[in-house]
Amino acid sequence: MEDCFKNNPQLLSLLKKIDSKFDITPEFEDRYKFMEICGTHTVSILKYGFRNYFKKRINFLSGPGCPVCVTSQKDIDKVIALVQMGIRIVTFGDLIKVPGSKSSLEEQMALGRKVDVVYNPLDCLKIAADNDEEIVFIAVGFETTIPVTASLVLDAERMGFKNLSILPLMKTIPSALNFLLSNLENEIDGFICPGHVSVIIGEQPYRMIPEKYKIPCVIAGFEPVDIGLAIESLVSQIRKHTPIVDNRYKRVVKENGNISAKRLIVEVFEETDVEWRGFGKVPTSGMKLREKFSKFDAENKFNIKIKKFLEPKGCICGEIIAGKKHPLDCTLFAKRCTPDSPVGPCMVSYEGACSAYYKYGEP
Query: For binding to another protein (CB under 8 A), which residues are involved?
Result: 1-3, 6-8, 11-12, 15, 38-40, 43, 46-50, 52-53, 65-68, 92-94, 96-97, 117, 119-120, 140-142, 144-145, 194, 196-197, 222, 224, 228, 338-340, 349-351, 358-363
For the bound state, the minimum distance from the C-beta of residue 145 to another protein, rounded and expressed in Å, comes to 6
CB of 338 to another protein, least distance (A): 7
Nearest distance, CB of residue 46 and another protein, angstroms: 7
Between 295 and 336, CB nearer to another protein = 336
Q: Which of residues 41 and 325 has its CB atom nearest to another protein in the complex?
A: 41
CA angle, residues 243, 66, 106, in degrees to nearest 5 = 175
Counting Cα atoms < 13 Å in the Cβ hemisphere of 362 gives 13
> Could you tell me which residues come within 8 angstroms of residue 113 by beta carbon, excluding any fewer than 6 positions away?
83, 84, 86, 105
Spatial contact of 68 and 95, defined as CB atoms under 8 Å apart: yes
Query: 252 or 310, CB closer to another protein?
Result: 252
Looking at beta carbons only, is 180 or 213 nearer to another protein? 180
Q: In what order do the strands lie in the sheet with 190-193?
A: 58-65, 32-38, 190-193, 217-219, 245-247
Q: How far is the CB of 48 from another protein (least distance, A)?
A: 5
What CA–CA distance (Å, rounded) separates 215 from 238?
8
CB distance 281 to 253 below 8 Å: no
Counting Cα atoms < 13 Å in the Cβ hemisphere of 54 gives 27
Using DSSP, state whether 314 is helix, strand or coil.
coil
| Cα gap 64→320, rounded to integer Å | 8
At its nearest, how many Å lie between another protein and the CB of residue 106?
9
Q: Which is nearer to another protein, 40 or 108 (CB)?
A: 40
**How far apart are CB 199 and another protein at their closest, in Å?**
11
Closest to 225 (Cα-Cα) out of 20, 44, 21, 36: 44
The CA–CA distances, whole Å, from 303 to 73, 78, 227 equal: 18, 10, 45
Residues 341, 332 contacting (CB under 8 angstroms) = no
Q: Which is nearer to another protein, 87 or 348 (CB)?
A: 348
- Residues whose CB falls within 8 Å of the CB of residue 117, separated by 6 or more in sequence, listed in order: 90, 91, 92, 93, 96
Nearer to another protein, 7 or 294 (CB): 7
Shortest reach from residue 330's CB to another protein, in Å:
17
**How far apart are CB 307 and another protein at their closest, in Å?**
28
Pairing of strands 190-193, 217-219: parallel
Contact 329, 355 (CB under 8 A): no
Give the nearer residue to another protein in terms of CB position, either 33 or 47.
47
Q: Supply the minimum distance, in Å, between the C-beta of residue 308 and another protein.
A: 28
Distant-in-sequence, close-in-space partners of 56: CB < 8 Å, separation ≥ 6: 31
Residue 37 vs 243, nearer CB to another protein? 37
